[in-house]
Each structure stands twice: as C-alpha cells, then as structure tokens.
Structure 1
Amino acid sequence: MGMRIGYGFDSHAFKAGVPLVIGGLKIDHPEGLAGHSDGDLLLHAITDALLGAVSAGDIGTFFPPSDMRWKNADSTVFLETALEEIATAGYRIVNLDCVLIMMRPKIVPIAGEMRARVAELLHVSERDVSIKAKTPEGLPQEGTAVAHVTVLLESIAGLDEPKKLVAEIDDPTEVDVVVRTLMGEEEPHNMARLGRKPTFDTDDLT
C-alpha cells in the first residue's frame, strides 16, 4: 500500500479590527490574523501539507496573493481544492498532527471544538486529527501565530481488494475440505472431516 507524508507551515501576525479564524473556527478575540484571505493559518498549513504530500505545489500555486479574487476569502475553499488534488492523485487522509504556537488566545480550552471542525472539513474521524498548542517559550513571537502540520496519506488503490488466504496444507486431500468449508458446504465444526472423533458419543447422553 502506497503511503505519502506531507508537511505544512504557516504564520501570521495578529492585527486589530479583523475577525480571528483558526481551523475554520471563529474565535472571540480582540485581534485577528492579518492575511490576504481570512488569515486562517491552520487551514493554510493543512492545505500546504496535503498539496505537498502529492507534489501538487503549494497554496500560492493555486491561490496567489496577487489575485484579488482571494482577498478575504474563506480558507475552506483552499482546503477543498487540496482535498480534490489528493483524491485525483489517488490518495486519502490517514491522519494529521497539528501544532499551534502562540501566546494568545489559549487554544487548549477550545482544542476539542477546533479538532471537531477540522475533522468535519477533512471528512475524517476526530480520532484521526491531533491539535496541540504551545507557547513561544521566550522567543520574540508574542504578536505572531505559527502552525505546523504533518499529514499521512495512503493510496486508495487496493483498499477494497479481497484479502488473500495463505495456508500450508501437507495432505492434498485436505485442500478440497478447506475449499468446501470456505464455500459454506461443510459444517465448520465437523471434527470428523479432520480425522478426529469426538471425546464421547452424543447418542449416549440421556
């Protein structure tokens, strides 16, 4: 089964007067994130990770900041395009791991809600989405938010192929027994066909 890994990174400075959106979730905070679109750095990093995993370029390839069509655009549009690209390439998401680095707002209290929203947008289970929050720990990033994302993809081809049965049978006469059992033509627990006898005769029971 083919596997591919993608990595995405994005960062935005905080800016007063704009709404704060992270992971497709609107957050009540005095400042938002500056950007050509809605500034959703987490969706941007996920988009880049997905595109990178299938060698399809990056978010700027599809949505250049010089194009005014994407001014204040909802970043879910970017994500949907990335999902189309990985599907076209024959892959699907296995899981992703996200790290958000910022002083404020606190992500931990809303991490569960954010995780659910990201899973919904990606059409995957919440158990396949990890979102962690860190602080800059003394680095001069108080006015900036940073996102790192790693994604694992698997090839869609072969996922529905029937499993092969591998067995070693010394006695060729047993092959027919095994085949008939798999086809449902033999009682699965008929010990007589294996050359064994039950430990007692059921006819003797009273």
Structure 2
Amino acid sequence: MGMRIGYGFDSHAFKAGVPLVIGGLPIEHPEGLAGHSDGDVLLHAITDALLGAVSAGDIGTFFPPSDPRWKGADSRVFLKTALEEVAVAGYKIVNVDTVLVMSKPKIVPIAGDMRERVAELLGVKPGDVGIKAKTPEGLNQDGVAVAHATVLLESVKLADQTGRMAAVADVDEIDQVVKGLVGGAHDVSALGRKRPTFNPDDLT
C-alpha cells in the first residue's frame, strides 16, 4: 500500500478588531490573525500539507489572495478542497501532526478541544491528530502566529471500497455511485479548483 507525506507551514500577524480562529475553533482573545481569509493559520498549514502530499500545488494555487472571492473566507472551505484532492488522488489520512508557535493565547488549555475540532473537519479520530504548542523564545515573533503541519496518507484500494459499499448498500445505490464516479461531471469551481487552460500551441 502506497504512503505519502506532506508538510505545510503558514504564519499570520496578530491584528486588533478581527476574531481569532485557529483550527476552526473560535478563541476569546483581543486580537485575531490578519489574512486575506479568516487567517486560520493552523488550517492553512494543514491544507498545504494535504495538497503537497498529493502534489496538487498549494493553497495559493486554488485560492489566490488576489481573488476577492476569498476575502474573509472561512478556511474550512480551503481544507475541504484539499481533502477532495486527496480523495481524488486515491488516498486517505493516516494521521496529522502539528506545531503552533505563538506567545499568546495559551494553546495548551484548549488543545483538546482544538484537536477534536480538527479531527472532525478532517474526518478522522482525535487520536489521529497531534497539536503541540511552543513559544517563540528568542525569535522576536511575539506578534505572529506560526503553524507547522505534517500529514501521512495511505492509498485506498478500490476493491476494498467496493466491498464495503456492497456490505451496506443495495444494487441501485452502488450503481448510482459508480455512475457518479465514472461518468458524472462535477462542478468544483466554487471550491477554487484550477482547471487547465486551453493552449493552442498544444495542437500539433
């Protein structure tokens, strides 16, 4: 069974007057994180790790800051797109490990809640998500939040998938699923996926 590893990194400066959201979890704090979207530094790092693991580019490829559609966007949308890319590539998440580097707020008291929230968004068990917190001692980064994320993926065998479907679905349901996988056209433009542009130079 094939395995893939992905690494992601992101950082945002703190800014007054915006809500603080980390790992999809709203946090009471006088400052939030500045960014074109909601500034969720942890979900951004995980998104990049997932995309990198399947060689699908990075978060900027799908959601460029120059595009006004993503102004203030919920970072869960970005994560959903990355999860879709992982599924399309034929992989599933084994585990995710992350490190948050910031002076405040303190992450340790809420790490359990954050781990459960991230696990819920990823569709895995909380025990498959690691969240660690560090302070930026000697780095002069008191006004910045930094996140590192590493993911491990394993390939999913089609035979196993169809076997599980057969155990819980009737023939008509399986037929609909197969038709959707093989012949269905899926509109993913709302998720920011880039479709290759037509290049007349490709005609020979």
Decide: shared fold, TM above 0.5: yes
Which interval holds the TM-score relative to the shorter structure?
A: 0.7 to 0.9
Deviation for aligned residue 1:140: 0.5
- Give 1:192's aligned residue: none
* AA in 2 matched with 1:35: G
- Give 2:19's aligned residue: 19
After superposition, the Cα gap between the structure-2 partners of 1:159 and 1:95, relative to the gap in structure 1 and judged at 3 Å, is farther
Matched, 1:10 2:10: yes
Aligned residues: 162
Deviation for aligned residue 1:160: 2.6
Q: What TM-score, normalized by structure 2, do the two folds share? A: 0.78
Q: Distance in 1 between matches of 2:130 and 2:89?
A: 24
- Give 1:59's aligned residue: 59
- Give 2:122's aligned residue: 122
* Correspondences of 1:140-155 after superposition (within 5 Å): 140-155=140-155
Q: Distance in 2 between matches of 1:80 and 1:107?
A: 24
Deviation for aligned residue 1:53: 0.1
Counterpart secondary structure, 1:110: helix
Q: Distance in 2 between matches of 1:103 and 1:75?
A: 23
Deviation for aligned residue 1:158: 6.2
* AA in 1 matched with 2:138: G
- Give 1:90's aligned residue: 90
* Correspondences of 1:41-56 after superposition (within 5 Å): 41-56=41-56
Q: Which has the higher helix share?
A: 2
* 1:78-116 deviation line (CA, Å, top 9, x unaligned): 000000000000000000100000000000000000000
| Structure 2 residues without counterparts, runs of 5 or longer | 164-204
Q: Distance in 1 between matches of 2:145 and 2:157?
A: 38
Q: Distance in 2 between matches of 1:159 and 1:134?
A: 43
| Structure 1 residues without counterparts, runs of 5 or longer | 163-206
Counterpart secondary structure, 1:160: helix
Deviation for aligned residue 1:138: 1.7
Q: What TM-score, normalized by structure 1, do the two folds share? A: 0.77
* Correspondences of 1:71-82 after superposition (within 5 Å): 71-82=71-82
- Greater Rg over alpha carbons, structure: 1
- Give 1:105's aligned residue: 105
* Correspondences of 1:29-44 after superposition (within 5 Å): 29-44=29-44
